[in-house]
Amino acid sequence: MTEVAGRRRILVTGGSRGIGAAICEGFAQLGDAVAVHCSANRDAAKALVASLPGTGHVVAQADLRDADAVRVMVDDAAAALGGIDVLVNNAGVFVTHPIDKVTYEQWQQAWADTLGVNLVGAANVTWCAVRHMPSDGSARIVNIGSRGAFRGEPRSPAYGASKAALAAFGQSLARALGPSGVSVTTVAPGFVETEMAAASLEGEAGVIRRAESPLNRVASPSEVADAVVYLASRQAQLASGSILDLNGASYLRM
C-alpha cells in the first residue's frame, strides 16, 4: 500500500465487515485514525476498532437512511478524530427484486431502502463530511461503486441504478470540489470474497462467477482496500473524477 506522510483522519461507512473492514485495516496500517461506521452491528464495529493497529480509532453509528442521524454521526466522528481528511462511501445494500417477481409494495420498499443507503445516504454523509475537510489539496472522497452500474443488474435494478448514480455523483463532486482541493474518485469492483457475496460464490454458481474473468477468480477485500488507499493518497490527486474498474476483465467498458 502507498505510504502517506502524516496521520490522517478517515471515515469509512459500512466499515465493520467485508470490504469496509479491509479498508479500515489498510488505513490503520499506515498510522491513520479511523472512524468505523456501522448501521446496526455496533459490536462488530467495536471489535474491529479494538483490533486495528494504532490508536484513536472510533465507532460511528447511524442508519444512513436517516438524514438527521447521518449529520450527528459525521459531526461526532469529526469531533472525535479532529476533522476528516478522507471519506470512503462504502456502505451498501443489495436487495433482490426482479420486476416480474415482486409485489408493488416489495418493489417500492426495495427502491427506498437501496437508494436510501447506497445513494442518498452517501450523498448526505458527503455533504456533512465536506464541512470538516481541509482545503490544502489533501482531502479525498472515494466511493465504492460496482460493475453493476455499467453491465446492469436485472434481479436488483435498484442496486445497479444506485451505483450508476453514485459514479455520476462522484464525477459531479470532482468538478464541484476541485477548487477546494478535494479529489473525488470511484472504485467499481466486480464480485468480492465477502460474507455478502458468499452465497453467490458457492458451488457451481461460484465456478461460473469466477469464470467470468479470464483470471478465473474474483477480488479479495484487501485488493479493493489497496485501490482505495492509493486513490486516497497525495499521489493520486489527478485521478479525481475517475472510475477504477476492479473486476478482473469480467466486464469491459469504454
Render pLDDT for 49-62 as a digit per residue (tens, 0 to 9).
Answer: 999 999 999 999 99
Identify the three-state secondary structure at position 234: helix
Residue 160 CB coordination number (10 Å): 20
Tell me what pLDDT residue 240 has: 98
How confident is the model at residue 6, as a pLDDT?
Answer: 76
Cβ atoms of 27 and 4 within 8 Å: the answer is no
- pLDDT value of residue 1: 39
Please state, rounded to an integer, the average pLDDT across all residues of the chain: 95
Q: Can you list the domains of the chain with their CATH numbers?
A: 9-246 (3.40.50.720)
Q: Which residues contact 65 (CB under 8 A, 6 or more apart)?
A: 112, 113, 116, 117, 120, 121
CA dist 186 and 175 (Å) reads: 14
CA distances from 148 to 22, 157, 196 (A): 21, 9, 15
**pLDDT computed for residue 2 by the predictor:** 39
Mean pLDDT of all residues in 69-76: 98
Return the higher-pLDDT residue of 254 and 160.
Answer: 160
Residues of the chain with pLDDT > 70, as a percent, come to: 97
Helix, strand, or coil (residue 35): strand
At residue 203, the pLDDT reads 86
pLDDT higher than 80, residue 93: yes
Residue 44 Cα to chain centre, angstroms: 17
Identify the CA nearest to 127 among candidates 74, 90, 63, 61: 74
Mean local confidence (pLDDT), 85-91 = 98
What DSSP line would sit under 145-184, residue for residue? --THHHH--TT-HHHHHHHHHHHHHHHHHHHHHGGGT-EE
The C-alpha atoms of residue 144 and residue 101 are separated, in whole angstroms, by: 28
For residue 4, pLDDT beyond 50: no
Which residues belong to the active site?
A: 159
105 is written with which cell numbers? 409494495
Q: Which residue has the higher pLDDT, 218 or 164?
A: 164
Work out the angle at residue 100's Cα, subtended by the Cα atoms of residues 145 and 167, and round it to the nearest 5 degrees. 15
